A and B are shown apart, each in its own frame.
Chain A
Amino acid sequence: METSKDLPKFAVLQLSGCSGCEVSLLNSDEWINNFQLVYMPLVVTSNKIPDDVEVLLVTGGVRTDEDIHNLRKGRSRTKKLIAVGTCALSGGVAQFKGNHIARESFLKASHRLRLPDMLPNAYPIDRFVDVDLYLPGCPPTPQLFMTALKDPENAKIAAIVCQECGRQKLNDMRPTSITGPRSGVVLPDICLVNQGYICVGTSTRGGCGALCTRPGHACVGCRGPANPYLNKEPKFVLDNLRRVFARMTDIPAEEIDAVLESPWLSLFLGQFTDYTQEADLPLRTKEKML
């Protein structure tokens, strides 16, 4: 066996997140034989990122000044930087969107002696550094991590979750009310939308293997909107979903809207689009999106 010293170096920089992305990466042991892990505070004791890193994965959103500093330092030491997970792509759960009660109570509570202060919001990392590849998912599956590390250029990613789902869309099964969002009996093999669930797989990029929908849970869209909705205002992906539900169901439009705009879906539906509302951010092209 070749010793790990000859292998390309890879590093993981964790900003403010939940460690779920790291936990997912550790669910694959394939990389052990392909890469030398030189920095990842969760599993390796080493105080700094060496300056000849091949690939740096960044997880978590930007929450403190220290995050900005570490991110810039990391960028300068790697050939390639990959943004991993919803938090790195959008700030994640920690963005407040329109929830002013939450923002105020958070900011009031977030000062301590001798510790870094929290920034007024959680930010996506490409607000501060160039990103070579985006790997969305909350968290991305171990397989997606391996694809990102090994051969992202030639990866074939399903355009939408439905392509990997295997459930059939029926013309003659039109629900009139919402079944879920998350309970009720699920019939096998039939599209969840036909069964009255608010599944957003029709507009969500694939690649996860339809992890949730195959066993019968509506997709919440954690992989983010599919390519046609990249760099577009949230309205476009929402309109597409509205059209899907109008075509496939007789559920009143207001009921669909209420669910689509609820916090748990908007967290993911907005992950590529919220940031387009800030003028001078770089465009995220589909070539850079895994």
Chain B
Amino acid sequence: MTTITYPLSRIEGHARVVIDVYDNEVFRADFQAMEMRGFSHYVRGVPAEQITVIVPRICGVCSTAHQVASVKALEDVFGITPPPLASDIREVLLLGQLIQNQATSLFIFTMPDRTNASSLFELSQSEAGKAREFSLAQMALKIRKIGTDLITLAGGQFIHPIKTVIGGVSSGIKREKADQMILTIQELLPVATELVDIYWEMSMEMGDRIGSWGDDEPTHYLASTEANNYCLNSQRLRVMQPDGTEAPSFDPHDFEAYLQIAESEYSYAGVSSYMGQILRANSLARINLTESLGTPRADAYLRRFVQTFGKPAHAIMFFDLCRGIELVYALEKAQQMLEGDLEHGETEVGYAPKDGTGFGLVEAPRGPLIHRYEVENGLIKTADFVIPTVHNMLAIRRALTVAAKRYVGPEGINAELERAVGRVVRAFDPCIACATK
């Protein structure tokens, strides 16, 4: 038996792919998280009200989603509901996170794969990159920075936000600040759509060149956005079945009845399934479960996507295209929300701490994220983080096996396998820090 190990780059964290080949046949393909963050251990015994400052540090890429989920879980324990203005500001914060994340995945992580470059910076310096009127790298970082600026505006700090507090948010968003942000978005939205178009074109070319868009077996999809409301500060989990019909939705309190999460022997990340079946979360899951995003440009991209690839669409490289649709959506939606009044009105409600168990759900860029805390004597007794990347683990494994089978045959192992492995994993945009909570 031959074991091939591929270290991975251009993903969050330390992970590798291991493929066992026996007699020129793929025996097993696995995706392994190589480190353990271990937050579910660190937070034991921490005063409950402080956990919202600690958990954003699970991951600097997804810190915003963790912070909001954490605050919502404590609000659930304390039995309070934040005022509508606070929910709106949290939504702007999560949109900022979505912009930052999708821009990173699209341009920094996966665009180089489209031309077999080693990085966006190399791609930008190459002939193809130089032929453009602007530097791809600099423009991509500018778009990404809108996300960071929105996080700073709505979250108070640029990486580990602090403005979302138990009961609401600590302050509104001033008109002049909102107006500045709107101007930036207006100026850069055309650049973003141009980048998304370039990305789309490059992806079509890549699909033609390779002759495949990857594992396209119908699967379950999990998201917490609604069919006609892409709200990320979400309430319920939805599931699409492989035939495209929707299964009953469920409340985060009941997640254990639907999602089975287990440890893995070969990886520091766990694996989850939906009633024993492979499932997928992240952009493609949301787009498959959506009728309309509710903003004009994004809906135009959505129509184009559905017309070209059908609904539900299953091939894994569609995850990447869907991130492009979402990037445009999040920019448009953030602008819409900032045009409203986010300055005046009640920002938070008071609370009395108490013991109990609570759940907090948000739609993070990688899918539904749930924090569950058990509070006893004001301290965290147990904490559980239900991580979107973990929902994709079985799907990643299957997609790797599909790719490995394509490139391993009687003639041996095709060198293209290494690139294929990178493309497969990056399509799911896994986050290792989170997955090893």
- Which residues in A have some Cβ–Cβ distance to B below 8 Å? 3-4, 14, 16-24, 26-27, 29, 32, 37, 41-47, 63-64, 66, 92-94, 96, 99, 101-103, 105-106, 109-110, 112-116, 118, 138-139, 141, 181-183, 186, 211-212, 215-217, 220, 262-264, 267
User: Chain A contacts of B175 at CB under 8 A?
Assistant: none
Say whether, besides A37-B119, A183-B167, A113 and B266 are in contact (CB < 8 Å): yes
Q: Which of B138-172 contact A (CB under 8 A)?
A: 138, 141-142, 144-145, 148, 156-160, 162-163, 165-167, 170-171
- Which residues in B have some Cβ–Cβ distance to A below 8 Å? 7-14, 18, 32, 34-39, 41-47, 49-50, 52-54, 57-61, 63, 100, 104, 108-109, 112, 118-122, 125, 135, 137-138, 141-142, 144-145, 148, 156-160, 162-163, 165-167, 170-171, 264-268, 348, 422, 433
B171 touching A29 by the CB < 8 A rule? no
User: Chain A contacts of B104 at CB under 8 A?
Assistant: 26
A115 touching B137 by the CB < 8 A rule? no
A94 touching B50 by the CB < 8 A rule? no
B45 touching A101 by the CB < 8 A rule? yes
A120 to B285, CA, bound (A): 39
User: Chain B contacts of A3 at CB under 8 A?
Assistant: 125
A267 to B39, CA, bound (A): 14
A217 touching B10 by the CB < 8 A rule? no
A18 touching B58 by the CB < 8 A rule? yes
Residue of chain A at shortest CB distance from B7 = A47
> Can you show 10 pairs from A to B with CB atoms below 8 A apart?
A17-B433, A23-B100, A43-B10, A43-B120, A45-B112, A105-B44, A106-B42, A114-B266, A115-B32, A182-B52
A210 to B52, CA, bound (A): 21
B61 touching A23 by the CB < 8 A rule? yes
A102 touching B157 by the CB < 8 A rule? no
User: Chain B contacts of A139 at CB under 8 A?
Assistant: 60, 159
Residue of chain A at shortest CB distance from B145 = A27
User: Chain A contacts of B264 at CB under 8 A?
Assistant: 112
Determine how close the nearest CB of chain A comes to the CB of B167; give it in whole angstroms: 7
Determine how close the nearest CB of chain A comes to the CB of B145; give it in whole angstroms: 6
Determine how close the nearest CB of chain A comes to the CB of B79; give it in whole angstroms: 17
A23 to B160, CA, bound (A): 11
B9 touching A44 by the CB < 8 A rule? yes
Instruction: Pick the residue among B10, B100, B144 that contacts A44 (CB under 8 A).
Output: B10
User: Chain A contacts of B37 at CB under 8 A?
Assistant: 16, 18, 94
A4 touching B121 by the CB < 8 A rule? yes
Top 8 closest A-B pairs, CB basis? A20-B60, A106-B41, A44-B119, A29-B141, A18-B60, A41-B9, A45-B9, A45-B118
B41 touching A109 by the CB < 8 A rule? yes
B57 touching A93 by the CB < 8 A rule? yes
User: Chain B contacts of A21 at CB under 8 A?
Assistant: 60
Determine how close the nearest CB of chain A comes to the CB of B219; give it in whole angstroms: 26
A115 touching B268 by the CB < 8 A rule? yes
A41 touching B267 by the CB < 8 A rule? no
Say whether, besides A43-B119, A105-B41, A263-B46, A212 and B35 are in contact (CB < 8 Å): no
B60 touching A101 by the CB < 8 A rule? no
User: Chain A contacts of B119 at CB under 8 A?
Assistant: 37, 43-45
Say whether, besides A20-B57, A41-B9, A47-B7, A182 and B41 are in contact (CB < 8 Å): no
A59 to B32, CA, bound (A): 22
B42 touching A29 by the CB < 8 A rule? no
A182 touching B121 by the CB < 8 A rule? no
Given contact pairs A41-B10, A138-B57, a sample of 9 additional A-B residue pairs in the complex whose CB atoms are under 8 Å apart: A19-B59, A20-B159, A23-B60, A29-B145, A32-B135, A43-B120, A93-B39, A183-B166, A183-B167
Determine how close the nearest CB of chain B comes to the CB of A43; give it in whole angstroms: 5
A143 to B194, CA, bound (A): 29
A138 to B166, CA, bound (A): 22
Residue of chain B at shortest CB distance from A98 = B45
Instruction: Pick the residue among A32, A46, A94 that contacts B118 (CB under 8 A).
Output: A46
A220 to B161, CA, bound (A): 12
A100 to B286, CA, bound (A): 41
Residue of chain B at shortest CB distance from A92 = B57
Residue of chain A at shortest CB distance from B265 = A113
Determine how close the nearest CB of chain A comes to the CB of B400; give it in whole angstroms: 16
Instruction: Pick the residue among A18, A27, A32, A103 that contacts B57 (CB under 8 A).
Output: A18
A181 to B112, CA, bound (A): 44
B60 touching A27 by the CB < 8 A rule? no
User: Chain B contacts of A16 at CB under 8 A?
Assistant: 14, 35, 37
Instruction: Pick the residue among B38, B54, B60, B156 that contacts A106 (CB under 8 A).
Output: B38
Determine how close the nearest CB of chain B comes to the CB of A138; give it in whole angstroms: 7
Determine how close the nearest CB of chain B comes to the CB of A210; give it in whole angstroms: 12
A24 touching B158 by the CB < 8 A rule? yes
User: Chain B contacts of A22 at CB under 8 A?
Assistant: 60
B138 touching A32 by the CB < 8 A rule? yes
A66 touching B156 by the CB < 8 A rule? no
Instruction: Pick the residue among B34, B137, B162 that contacts A182 (CB under 8 A).
Output: B162
Say whether, besides A18-B433, A182-B53, A109 and B156 are in contact (CB < 8 Å): no
User: Chain A contacts of B41 at CB under 8 A?
Assistant: 102-103, 105-106, 109
User: Chain A contacts of B100 at CB under 8 A?
Assistant: 23
User: Chain A contacts of B141 at CB under 8 A?
Assistant: 26-27, 29, 32
